[in-house]
Structure 1
Amino acid sequence: MTVLDVPPRPSRLWPTVFAVLAGLVILLAAGGLNISWSDVPKIPENVMKYLGLMFGPPNWEKLPRALMEMWRSVSMAWLGAILCVVVSIPLGILAARGVGPAWLRLSLRGVFAVIRAVPEVIIALILLTVTGLTPFTGMLALGIAGIGTQGKWVYESIESAEEGASEAVLAAGGTTAEVTRWALWPAVAPALMSFALYRFEINIRTSAILGMVGAGGIGSMLTNYTQFREWDTVGMLLIVIVVVTMAIDAVSGAVRRRIMEGARSGELARSA
């Protein structure tokens, strides 16, 4: 009779230690927030109370002004997305492996990482001292904040592109610039356009938050009426924000899907 060599049972020591440490961190975080646990059961009742004040019924008298302020927020988001794309695409291409020199590639990636570490609100507060309380401040904050993420998407897309076209251009005697123009850019352009539209969707949501710190748009109006506790107007503003944001998301999502489907069709045609 053959005795089977059963492998030893894997140790659960380190997963257990990590789970205990994670639990301690959660407990310490909850204790540091100074939460009044006696008020927690009242939260559902208070939520229903303020929902009734905001939406029963909303105040539609300020709708024209709300639509104008929402248009300003959308304008901030769109111009910020354009600024982000115009700056991040060339810098992201230079940060890709095989395109820019090592010193430039590492420097740009470090800049992108620093920008991603700073929230849009902090950038807006810094810009407020220079540009003042204007929608221009919000546009700049959205554009600068997006460069970190968009630049990372650019160089990762280039580095993940198929190398066949690049090798063909190099074999024909092409330079790095020619490889970038005729091989890398056609391969990643659809994905980068899709990322640009997605950045616009993100900016739409963030622009409302920037308005709360004085950057203008629907966020400023929402902050003002919340401070004056005019809940029926606040409810109307929330309806405007949700409806417009969902409509833009639907349109942008359809465009992004069409771009990517067209790109896949082109790849299948070239491989056939």
Structure 2
Amino acid sequence: MTAATLTAARPVVAAPARPRRLAVRAVQGGATAVVLAAVLHLRLDWAALRDLPSDLVRYLGLMFAHPDWSRLPYALEQTWVSVQMAWLGALLGVVVSTVLGVPAARGVGPWWLRLPLRAVFAVVRAVPEVIIAIVILTVTGLTPFTGALALAIGGVGTHARWTYETIEGVPPGTAEAVRAAGGNLFETARWGLWPAAAPELMSLALYRFELNVRTSAILGLIGVGGVGDLLTGYTQYRQWDAVGVLIVVVVVVTMAIDAVSGAIRRRITKGARARVVEGTE
């Protein structure tokens, strides 16, 4: 066979078309224009930005050079109030999210129930917990219970989504078997889906509590109690030595809760670590 014959028999491979960059460049240009417009609209004080590092060092010195440790007991008490607020909000939110999130999963609830539930979750996710607290405080007043309710309602949007996404990730075999045996929606969720999804859902519940601990400090800024409320009062009266103590307490308590919760979540999802017993080899 000649070289000409081989060349003729070889298939002709066309070069791929060059990708069009017009849409990508248009999006990049639009994002740049939005950022520039935002910077110009804010009318930033560039002189203040220039002095920001020195001011930050000065205030850090005021807070941590000579902290007032006599405020430590009260700071711990208010931090405990924030933790209680976070725990109650997580408990209420997880229960409601589980009850509503399971029928919102694909393959569990009918479409006429699943779609409205997901729309409600999306609306709740769009509203910050601070706004929810401002709305409900007209009924419950400026109390830690208001903060717990705001955390519970605000957490439903996100946690319910985690719930139905976890349920949708469960292998459908067991649920189909329960449904084929005549099981209703509750029985399918209880016996077909819950045993496989429970470890991941419990891990997400603990993670919800971790998030609520941080958010509870922010809710305290509007006066519902807890460490955020105390931080606002100390800052307004320029009691920087007390602010330093409060920040130390918040950081230490938050890190401790994260460490303990993270260890529990790893134990739930991955199980206990295997240990080698001496004399077994």
Q: What one-letter code is carried by the residue in structure 2 that aligns with 1:44?
A: P
Q: Superposed, which structure 2 residues align to 1:11-26 within 5 Å?
A: 11-26=20-35
Provide the C-alpha distance between the structure 1 equivalents of 2:138 and 2:187, rounded to a whole number of angstroms: 43
Matched, 1:121 2:130: yes
Runs of 4+ in 1 over 6 A off after TM superposition: 1-4
Give the corresponding residue for 2:83: 74
For residues 114-193 of structure 1, what are the structure 2 equivalents within 5 Å? Answer: 114-193=123-202
CA deviation digits over 1:18-48, x for unaligned, max 9?
A: 1111100100111111101122211110000
Q: Distance in 2 between matches of 1:157 and 1:150?
A: 10
1:219 pairs, out of 217, 228, 231, with 228
Give the Cα–Cα distance (whole angstroms) in 1 for the partners of residues 179 and 145 of structure 2. 44
After TM superposition, the score normalised by the length of structure 1 is 0.93
Deviation (angstroms), 1:129: 0.8
Residue 47 of structure 2, aligned match among 17, 38, 44:
38
Aligned residues: 264
2:123 partner amino acid: V
Offset, 1:4: 6.5
Distance 1:244 1:104 in 2: 41
Q: 1:221 to 1:10 in 2, by over 3 A?
A: same
Q: Which amino acid aligns with 1:183?
A: G
One-letter code of the match for 2:105? A
How far does the alpha carbon of each residue in 1:226-249 deviate from its partner, in whole angstroms, 9 at most, with x for none?
000111110110000000000000
Q: CA RMSD, aligned part only?
A: 1.7
Partner of 1:270: none
Query: Which digits, 9 at most, give the CA deviation of each residue in 1:194-225, with x for residues without a partner?
Result: 11000000000000000010110011000000
Q: Considering only CA atoms, is the larger Rg found in Structure 1 or Structure 2? A: 2
The code of the aligned residue for 2:263 comes to: A
Q: 1:57 offset after TM fit, Å?
A: 1.9
Amino acid at match of 2:250: I
The one-letter code of the counterpart of 1:219 is G
The CA distance in 2 between the partners of 1:146 and 1:110, in whole Å, is: 15
Equivalent in 91, 115, 119 of residue 106 of structure 1: 115
Provide the C-alpha distance between the structure 2 equivalents of 1:85 and 1:58, rounded to a whole number of angstroms: 38
Structure 2 counterpart of 1:192, one-letter code: L
Could you tell me which of 37, 46, 60 is aligned with 1:51? 60
Cα-to-partner distance string for 1:130-170 (whole Å, 9 max, x where unaligned): 11111111111111111111111111111111112123323
Q: Which moved more, 1:75-84 or 1:107-116?
A: 107-116
- 1:269 is matched with none
Distance in 2, Cα, partners of 1:13 & 1:228: 55
Match of 2:277 in 1: none
Gaps of 5+ in 2: 275-281
Which moved further from structure 2: 228-237 or 12-21? Answer: 12-21
**2:268 corresponds to 1:262:** no
Identity of aligned residues (%): 61
Measure how far apart 1:177 and its partner are.
2.8
Counterpart in 2 of 1:268? none
Which of 202, 209, 213 pairs up with 1:204? 213
Q: Which residue of 1 aligns with 2:278?
A: none
1:8 is displaced (CA, Å) by 3.3
User: For the residues of structure 1 that align with 2:54 and 2:48, how far apart are their CA atoms?
Assistant: 11
Q: Structure 1: where are the runs of 5+ without partners?
A: 266-272
